[in-house]
């Protein structure tokens, strides 16, 4: 970049996920009236011609990956590095990852050239990579290789009762993972497949394991039986009367959240159920994903179950809305600005979550977080995915 091309600007604002500078351009930027909002800045040596490779999605680096010298790799997604890729990794000048990185243990030293906005995990070089959470089906013991070692970052789930774990033991298969979710009747068969550091989560004998979220109703009980172990969240069917389930539901264990309506709570508490958390679902009116919302007395009084406003830029509270009505009927979440009178501020603060600004509106209704952009109406604006200065 040439400094004289930009020195006549009074103010410069750069919003970018990734900013790439060299020693010269960095020095020029420091002398200019520029504000940079970025996820990551990468500095490269002067005189180095960079090959920029941008990937939106998951990416894998293998021994066969074709890459030019001094490549800068930018990934919006997950990166998986396979063993034996030292020669490929040395060609990258820098790697920026907005997501997770999975790297073999022997290549940990190369992580220093990777900028990561997310989690980083390493795995044994001699392991075959599985999904982060690997749900084993009955065909896996047939496909597994003799003496194979398999890595699942989070968990291995054995849900199918027909999985032949003894065949895996005969093949001397080993799993490397943090947690195992297994029916009690299969525990003994798993001992040889997992080391002593793995956390066993055991489904009690006679209970049907459901991995993932489920909707509790008569159809589910008819299909899966009356003893359910749900590793996930359970939502009570909104048309379901919990009293009607008492004869068919013997035992319910939920390793997650139970979600139900307020009108179902009393009857649900009479069921033989264990759970981590109980959440009462919102039954009122919902206004969401709007630029501007006006809340007045008529709206609140004609919403018996209340009004929830979320994901809106600005909310205007009419003067006829009393603080008591706000506390009783209104819920606000994830909004930039709530314009209200001084008398309403306390009530709004009590019921609002993740709101940037609460108070009287100014001359315009732009939320506070947009104030710095007002002068863009008379500026040169560049809207690009990739721009070189």
Q: Write a three-state SS string for the chain.
A: CCHHHCCCCCCEEEEEEEEEEEHHHHHHHHHCCEEEEEEEEEEECCCCCCEEEEEECCEEECCCCCCCCCEEEEEECCEEECCCCHHHHCCEEEEEECCCEEEEHHHHHHHHHEEECCCEEEECCCCEECCCEEEECCCHHHHCCCCCEEECCCEEEECCCCCCHHHHHHCCCEEECCEEEEEHHHHHHHCCCECCCCEEEEECCCCEEEECCEEECHHHHHHHCCEEEEECCEEECCCCCHHHHCCCCCEEEEEEEEEECHHHHHHHCCCCEEEEEEEECCCCEEEEEEEEEEECHHHHHCCCCCEEEEEEEEEEECCCCCHHHHHHHEEEEEEEEEECCHHHHHHHHHHEEEEEEEECCCCCCCCHHHHHHHHHHHCCCCCCCCCCC
Cα-trace Rg, the chain: 28
Contact 8, 30 (CB under 8 A): no
Q: Span 26-34, mean pLDDT?
A: 92
**pTM more than 0.85:** no
Contact 56, 134 (CB under 8 A): no
Residue-wise pLDDT for 256-300, tens only, equals: 999 998 888 999 999 999 999 998 888 889 999 988 999 999 999
pLDDT confidence bin for 378, thresholds 50/70/90: low
pLDDT confidence bin for 231, thresholds 50/70/90: very high
What whole-number distance in Å separates Cα of residue 53 and Cα of residue 43?
Answer: 16
Q: What is the mean pLDDT of the chain?
A: 89
Q: From residue 247, give the alpha-carbon distance in Å to each of 208, 214, 250, 272.
A: 17, 20, 7, 11
Q: Given this model, what pLDDT does residue 367 score?
A: 47
- Half-sphere exposure of 61 toward its Cβ, with a 13 Å CA cutoff? 28
Backbone angles phi, psi at 158, to 5 degrees: -110, 100
Token pair belonging to 356: 């940037």
pLDDT confidence bin for 361, thresholds 50/70/90: low
What percentage of residues in the chain have a pLDDT greater than 70?
95
Other CB atoms within 10 Å distance of the CB of residue 326: 22
Place of tokens 């809106």: 312
What whole-number distance in Å separates Cα of residue 26 and Cα of residue 46?
Answer: 10
Token pair belonging to 183: 């029916």
């Amino acid at each position: 970049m040439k400094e004289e091309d930009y020195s006549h600007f009074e103010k410069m604002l750069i919003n970018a996920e990734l900013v790439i500078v060299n020693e010269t351009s960095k020095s020029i930027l420091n002398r200019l009236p520029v504000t940079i909002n970025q996820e990551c800045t990468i500095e490269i040596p002067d005189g180095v011609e960079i090959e920029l490779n941008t990937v939106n999605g998951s990416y894998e680096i293998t021994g066969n990956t074709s890459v030019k010298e001094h490549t800068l790799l930018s990934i919006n997604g997950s990166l998986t590095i396979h063993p034996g890729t030292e020669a490929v990794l040395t060609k990258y000048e820098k790697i920026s990852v907005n997501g997770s990185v999975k790297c073999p243990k022997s290549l940990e030293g190369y992580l220093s050239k990777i900028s990561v906005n997310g989690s980083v995990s390493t795995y044994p070089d001699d392991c075959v990579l599985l999904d982060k959470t690997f749900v084993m089906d009955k065909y896996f013991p047939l496909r597994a290789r003799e003496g194979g070692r398999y890595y699942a970052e989070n968990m291995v789930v054995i849900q199918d009762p027909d999985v032949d774990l003894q065949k895996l033991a005969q093949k001397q298969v080993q799993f490397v993972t943090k947690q195992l979710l297994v029916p009690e009747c299969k525990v003994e068969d798993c001992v040889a497949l997992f080391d002593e550091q793995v956390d066993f989560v055991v489904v009690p004998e006679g209970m049907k394991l459901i991995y993932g979220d489920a909707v509790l109703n008569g159809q589910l009980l008819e299909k899966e039986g009356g003893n359910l172990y749900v590793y996930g969240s359970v939502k009570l069917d909104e048309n379901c009367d919990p009293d009607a389930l008492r004869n068919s539901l013997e035992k319910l264990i939920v390793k997650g959240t139970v979600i139900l309506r307020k009108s179902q709570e009393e009857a649900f508490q009479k069921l033989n159920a264990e759970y981590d958390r109980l959440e009462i679902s919102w039954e009122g009116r919902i206004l969401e994903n709007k630029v501007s919302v006006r809340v007045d007395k008529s709206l609140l009084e004609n919403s018996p179950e209340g009004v929830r406003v979320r994901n809106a830029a600005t909310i205007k509270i009419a003067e006829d809305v009393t603080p008591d009505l706000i506390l009783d009927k209104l819920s606000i979440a994830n909004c930039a600005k709530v314009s209200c009178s001084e008398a309403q501020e306390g009530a709004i603060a009590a019921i609002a979550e993740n709101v940037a600004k609460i108070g009287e509106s100014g001359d315009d209704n732009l939320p506070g977080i947009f104030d710095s952009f007002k002068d863009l109406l008379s500026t040169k604006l560049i809207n690009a995915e990739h721009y070189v200065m």
